[in-house]
């Protein structure tokens, strides 16, 4: 065994920075696996940012460490503002499309004096006007289409991809050393910039920060807690869910994550439109008593909730909620996910190296809606591209909206934009369960991803879901005494003549879910504009033995797990590159469950 497994066994203190980790690895005569190296490299590039990464690459070229056949040349200066007293210019980079244009402080444009002169000459009109023009705020000039964070991220990804494809492998520590040299920020280390074969320099580690009793640690901790409080305020000012979010770090000195933008809903990625006009709604006076004609039934699905709004269908069952065209009010039992997260949760620092996690701040009853998984909705091709760098970095936030035939037109990426669910960790014995939910967007390819309590959850318990939910095509219906198997239905793929109805009452006096013939029911899908795109082939009666009855929103690429072969997948997440041999991407699962599968993906 090598690499990360050995590092785990060496018990590096959790406060280790990248440098400390490398130092410890060298001291113990261990080596990072290629994957760990890649992970640290990507993380370091992200930390230093796109512009500094460019300068580091230039340094590496100057030092003869690498050959780089393209360099970053400013092609044109397009705009200028003064923000916090610093001139910032909007740059078009040579060889990079306008998508990659970025705002750069003047200090980053050291050798562009000719272009700067040219820009200022062109824009030297009325002095007062120029002054006002330069004083515009970033927020006034960055239009909605433009996403500077996205442009920078793309540049980091591109640099990372290129660096890892070079013959000469660059280590993260080289980047860290050069980063302090090029950014002019407080150096992270002291010593020579080592070439190959040279002695590793002595690092400037603030060992006091490793001792929680030291004054330095306590001061740093205070600083971090203040930053986390600010972050908590910021998240709660954006969060539109009825329940607030707490933030807690009683474990280490990690502050708020950089480059993470809080969102409440899906953010459509480039070229993606998320329709939100359902065209039709129900006219029920009381949707719960009118299950047979309410929205779910019109979509060939079952009414998914009990009166008190807890889910009563097994996982994988598509959920159709009442939508904005329906006549029912907000108290309708078929409006649950759309009303947002009602349970207070806390983003907390885990104590066993899993980074941040999320815990419940109040008891949650089985079947309750807990939160939605939101992020950028991107195409399959874009997900493939991003997936490669995420896989290499050992972290992924990609959730395939894959369904039925394994074809995955869209993926939700919560890496840069997301809500609390961004921080929810995996468990092989999770307490949350995933459902696809359709509300105002009835495009079958664009379900919302909702996480419901799989069992009663106690206040303080960490919230988890299974990143590789696979297999079980039948869920036990707890309401039916635990042993009754309930078929999981697939949206759009049931016979027009098979509609779903409720039959016997359960012990709580609420009806159970079953499938029966009930004649011709006009399908909501048939009324949708995109009906041509939906596979509405008649499939015969819903057959509980048949895979084709299943909603399968696929784990995507974690193909190598035996469990996956055991049965068709259900709404699940976390992409891995199909081309990557699984050996390269083994990440130890730290969920601690008895039935732990050992590897995350």
How far, in Å, CA of 232 to CA of 246, rounded? Answer: 6
Toward ligand SAM, which CB reaches closer, 90 or 465? 465
Strand ranges across the sheet with 102-105: 74-83, 86-93, 102-105
Q: Which of 39, 467, 474, 585 is catalytic?
A: 467
Q: Which residues pair with 349 in a beta bridge?
A: 356
Q: Judged by CB, which is closer to ligand SAM: 57, or 401?
A: 401
Which one-letter DSSP state was computed for residue 117? H
Least distance from C-beta 466 to ligand SAM, angstroms? 10
Length of the chain (residues): 601
Region label for 367, one of left (φ > 0), alpha (ψ between -120 and 50) or beta (otherwise): left
Judged by CB under 6 A, the stretch of 177-185, 288-296, 392-400, 514-522 that binds ligand SAM is 392-400
Segment contacting ligand SAM by CB under 6 A, of 109-117, 233-241, 391-399, 521-529: 391-399
Which residue among 39, 373, 390, 417 is the active-site one? 373
Distance CA 303, CA 499 (A): 11
Residue 600 binding ligand SAM, by CB under 6 A: yes
- Return d(Cα 40, Cα 169) in angstroms, integer: 13
With CB under 6 A as the contact rule, the residue among 106, 208, 354, 385 that binds ligand SAM is 354
- 590 belongs to the binding site for ligand SAM (CB under 6 A): yes
16's tokens: 């280790």
* Closer by beta carbon to ligand SAM, 254 or else 512: 254
Do residues 601 and 574 touch, judged by C-beta distance below 8 A? Answer: yes
Among 103, 189, 369, 423, binds ligand SAM (CB under 6 A): 423
Nearer to ligand SAM, 145 or 258 (CB): 258
- Write the binding mask 393 to 422 for ligand SAM: x where contact by CB under 6 A, - elsewhere: -xxxx-------------------------
Name residue 372's beta-bridge partners: 450
Structure tokens at 506: 């359960």
Question: Quick check: is 467 catalytic?
Answer: yes
> For ligand SAM, which residue of 356, 403, 416, 452 counts as binding (CB under 6 A)?
356
Q: What is the DSSP letter of 88?
A: E
Instruction: Supply the minimum distance, in Å, between the C-beta of residue 7 and ligand SAM.
Output: 14
425 binds ligand SAM (CB under 6 A): yes
For ligand SAM, the closer CB: 242 or 355: 355
Site string for ligand SAM, 2-21 (x = CB under 6 A): --------------------
Helix, strand or coil for residue 115? helix
Q: Which stretch binds ligand SAM (CB under 6 A): 78-86, 165-173, 279-287, 389-397?
A: 389-397
User: Rounded to whole angstroms, how far apart are CA atoms 445 and 403?
Assistant: 8
- Which region among 35-43, 217-225, 529-537, 585-593 touches ligand SAM (by CB under 6 A)? 585-593
Q: In the complex, what is the shortest distance from the CB of residue 491 to ligand SAM, in angstroms, rounded to a whole number?
A: 26
Site for ligand SAM in 224-283 (CB under 6 A): none
Q: What phi and psi, each to the nearest 5 degrees, are found at residue 338?
A: -65, -15
Let me know if 217 is a catalytic residue. Answer: no
Residues 310, 453: Cα–Cα separation, whole Å: 9
**Residue whose Cβ sits closest to ligand SAM:** 355
**What single DSSP character describes residue 209?**
G
Q: Is 167 exposed, middle or buried (0-12, 13-18, 19+ CB in 10 A)?
A: exposed
**Is residue 447 within 8 Å of residue 410, measured between CB atoms?**
no
User: Which of 100/395 has CB closer to ligand SAM?
Assistant: 395
Stretch that binds ligand SAM, among 136-144, 162-170, 297-305, 352-360 (CB under 6 A): 352-360
Q: Which residues contact 540 (CB under 8 A, 6 or more apart)?
A: 495
Within 192-211, which residues bind ligand SAM (CB under 6 A)?
A: none
Binding region for ligand SAM (CB under 6 A) out of 279-287, 390-398, 482-490, 534-542: 390-398
Closer to ligand SAM at the Cβ: 325 or 395? 395
Dihedral angle of Cα 254, 60, 384, 583, to the nearest 10 degrees: -80
Residue 27 contacts residue 56 (beta carbons within 8 Å): no
Q: Is 355 in the site for ligand SAM (CB under 6 A)?
A: yes
449 contacts 572 by C-beta, under 8 angstroms: no
Catalytic site positions: 373, 467
- Which residues of this protein are in contact with ligand SAM, per CB under 6 A? 354-357, 394-397, 423, 425-426, 589-591, 600
């Amino acid at each position: 065994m090598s690499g990360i497994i050995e590092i785990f066994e060496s018990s590096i203190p959790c406060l280790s920075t990248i440098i400390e980790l490398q130092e410890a690895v060298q001291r113990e005569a261990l080596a990072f696996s290629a994957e760990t190296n890649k992970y640290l490299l990507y993380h370091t590039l992200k930390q230093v940012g796109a512009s500094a990464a460019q300068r580091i690459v230039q340094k590496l070229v100057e030092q003869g460490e690498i050959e780089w056949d393209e360099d970053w040349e400013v092609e044109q200066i397009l705009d200028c503002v003064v923000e916090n007293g610093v001139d910032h210019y909007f740059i078009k980079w040579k060889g990079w499309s306008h998508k990659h244009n970025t705002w750069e402080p003047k200090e980053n444009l050291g050798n562009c004096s000719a272009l700067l002169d040219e820009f200022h000459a062109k824009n030297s009109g009325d002095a007062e006007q120029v002054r006002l023009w330069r004083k515009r705020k970033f927020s006034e000039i960055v239009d909605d289409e433009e996403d500077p964070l996205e442009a920078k991220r793309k540049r980091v990804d591109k640099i990372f991809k290129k660096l890892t494809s070079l013959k000469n492998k660059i280590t993260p520590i080289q980047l860290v050393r050069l980063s302090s040299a090029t950014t002019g920020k407080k150096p992270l280390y002291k010593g020579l910039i080592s070439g190959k074969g040279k002695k590793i320099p002595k690092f400037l580690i603030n060992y006091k920060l490793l001792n929680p009793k030291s004054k330095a640690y306590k001061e740093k901790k205070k600083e971090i807690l203040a930053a986390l409080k600010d972050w908590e305020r910021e998240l709660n000012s954006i969060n539109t869910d009825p329940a607030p979010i707490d933030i807690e770090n009683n474990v280490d000195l990690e502050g708020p994550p950089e480059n993470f933008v809080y969102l409440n809903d899906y953010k459509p990625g480039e070229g993606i439109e998320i329709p939100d006009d359902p065209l039709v709604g129900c006219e029920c006076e009381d949707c719960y008593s009118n299950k047979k004609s309410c929205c779910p039934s019109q979509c060939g699905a079952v009414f998914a909730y009990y009166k008190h709004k807890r889910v009563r269908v097994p996982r994988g069952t598509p959920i159709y909620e009442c939508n904005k065209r329906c006549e029912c009010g907000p108290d309708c039992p078929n409006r649950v996910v759309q009303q947002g997260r009602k349970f207070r949760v806390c983003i907390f620092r885990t104590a066993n190296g899993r980074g941040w996690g999320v815990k419940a701040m109040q008891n949650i009853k089985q079947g309750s809606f807990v939160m939605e998984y939101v992020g950028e909705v991107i195409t399959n091709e874009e997900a493939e591209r991003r997936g490669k760098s995420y896989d290499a970095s050992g972290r992924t936030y990609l959730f395939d909206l894959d369904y039925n035939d394994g074809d995955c037109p869209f993926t939700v990426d919560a890496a840069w934009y997301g809500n609390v669910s961004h921080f929810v960790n995996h468990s092989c014995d999770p307490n949350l369960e995933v459902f696809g939910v359709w509300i105002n967007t009835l495009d079958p390819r664009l379900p919302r991803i909702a996480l419901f309590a799989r069992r009663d959850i106690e206040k303080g318990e960490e919230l988890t879901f299974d990143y590789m939910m696979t297999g079980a095509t039948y869920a036990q219906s707890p309401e039916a005494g635990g042993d009754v198997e309930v078929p999981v239905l697939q949206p759009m793929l049931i016979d027009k003549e098979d509609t779903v109805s409720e039959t016997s009452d359960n012990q709580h006096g609420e009806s159970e879910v079953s499938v029966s013939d009930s004649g011709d029911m006009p399908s909501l899908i048939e009324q949708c504009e995109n009906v041509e795109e939906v596979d509405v082939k008649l499939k015969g009666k819903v057959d509980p033995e048949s895979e084709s009855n299943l909603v399968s929103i696929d784990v995507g690429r974690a193909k190598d797990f035996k469990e996956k072969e055991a049965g068709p997948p259900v709404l699940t997440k976390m992409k891995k590159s199909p081309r990557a041999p699984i050996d390269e991407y083994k990440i130890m699962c730290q969920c601690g469950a008895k039935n732990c599968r050992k590897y995350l993906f």
